[in-house]
Amino acid sequence: MEVYLDNSATTRVSEKVKNIIIKTMTEDFGNPSSLHMKGVEAERYVKEAREIIAGNLKVKDKEIIFTSCGTESNNLALIGMAMANKRQGNHIITTSIEHASVSNTMKYLKEQGFDITYLKVDKEGHIDLNELREAINDSTIIVSVMYVNNEIGAVEPVREIGKIIKEKNPKTIFHADAIQAFGKYKIYPKKLNIDALSVSGHKIHGPKGIGFLYVSEGIKIKPVIIGGGQQNGMRSGTDNVPGIAGLGAAVKETYENFDEKIKRMYRLKDYFTDNIMSLENVQVNSKKGELSAPHIVSVSFIGVRSEVMLHALEERGIYVSSGSACSSNRHGGSATLESIGLSREALDSTLRFSFSDNTTKEELDYTIDAIKELLPRLRVYVRKK
């Protein structure tokens, strides 16, 4: 049996998405900048995908910029907005648990002379709203907070964050990395005071190599890719029509029967969490229910290194992660797990299980049984060593 529980890293492309990608690669393969009918056909896919995405966010079509991935979306948002607004101020606020595509971009911006404030989080991964309020000042140009943490599933209070930002300094831009949130929540940026929102396609059964950035009309932002002036000059380069068409199809499919799919995912998450919590010396780092995202469960198997458990599960056909896929090769451990106060022993033994709407109870039962069998054996092996 094969069980894929690494959906926060990437998801399987759906059948509808696969079909539209093939069609735009083999039949409607024109360059959307071309004036002939092949170009017009390709442009129609781009226009339709933009309409689908904008419709789900309840924003204007022209506020959607297609990118190559979530990382580019975050880079374009942060670097583009920082450079465009530096005359207004040089202060940026973020958190200690951001994805590398934000945290490393912040390091770059610091090198460019920007002043970066990092908000701490509590043991559940949530920022202190009072600390945020006190940190915002007249020179604060951007606040960037991830909607859902990619390692433990903590959901930040984005509505309250947006309200505080606009009350304290209406000119401050609120950017949210929604790469793990989009497709799991109904997100309406205008109601949440979110000015810029980053999303990646391959987290929602779309293809790799495509993402988008929502930027509210009127927000000043500079492009970081210069060239032929596509997408109103905001992101030059030939449009990735198969990726864009696939992303549009994935968004449409994701939000069909949405409430039913999310409720089911929460039931599976709680079922899995309850079973795992019953095991000896096992620590669950994600909250149950709607206090956390519906698809992420972080677990520390005390006494067994995460890589050992990961490969033992892999031998049973179960695929999980030891953390963020984009940061799995870096040294120094997880900034998120360190920020929520995990012990060194727990840090070294943490795995992430992440679900999709295709995950079944049978797959979770198989995984739970495998963990129950493997855990005592691996602990005995460690003690003997």
Q: How confident is the model at residue 383 (pLDDT cuts 50, 70, 90)?
A: low
**Annotated active-site residue in 54, 135, 326, 347:** 326
Closest CA to 119 of 324, 343, 339: 339
Averaged confidence pLDDT in the chain: 95
3-state secondary structure of 7: coil
Residues with Cβ within 8 Å of 116's Cβ and at least 6 positions away in sequence, in order, are 92, 93, 94, 106, 109, 110
Distances in Å between the Cα of 134 and the Cα atoms of 34, 138, 174, 203, 214 are 52, 11, 16, 34, 27
Q: Are 50 and 64 in contact (CB under 8 A)?
A: yes
Question: In the structure encoding, which two tokens stand for residue 246, read together?
Answer: 């696939």
Q: How confident is the model at residue 328 (pLDDT cuts 50, 70, 90)?
A: very low
3-state secondary structure of 215: strand
pLDDT in tens, 280-317: 999 999 999 888 999 999 999 999 999 999 999 999 99
pTM to 2 decimals? 0.94
Closest CA to 363 of 269, 294, 287: 269
- To the query of whether residue 326 is one of the catalytic residues in this protein, the response is yes
Range name among 23-32, 193-202, 316-325 with the lowest pLDDT average: 316-325
pLDDT in tens, 223-274: 999 999 999 889 999 999 999 999 999 999 999 999 999 999 999 999 999 9
- Where do we find the tokens 């007249």? 138
Q: How confident is the model at residue 325 (pLDDT cuts 50, 70, 90)?
A: low
pLDDT in tens, 341-369: 999 999 999 999 999 999 999 999 999 99
| CATH code that applies to domain 3-11+257-384 | 3.90.1150.10
| Domain assignments of the chain as residue spans, ordered by start | 3-11+257-384, 15-254
Is pLDDT at 204 greater than 50 in this prediction?
yes
Distances in Å between the Cα of 83 and the Cα atoms of 80, 227, 285 are 5, 18, 37
For the sheet with 173-177, list strands across it: 64-67, 211-215, 196-200, 173-177, 140-144, 91-95, 115-119
pLDDT at 37 (0 to 100): 86
Burial class (CB in 10 A: 0-12, 13-18, 19+), 280: exposed
Other C-beta atoms closer than 10 Å to the C-beta of 289 total 11
Q: Does 15-254 carry CATH code 3.40.50.880?
A: no
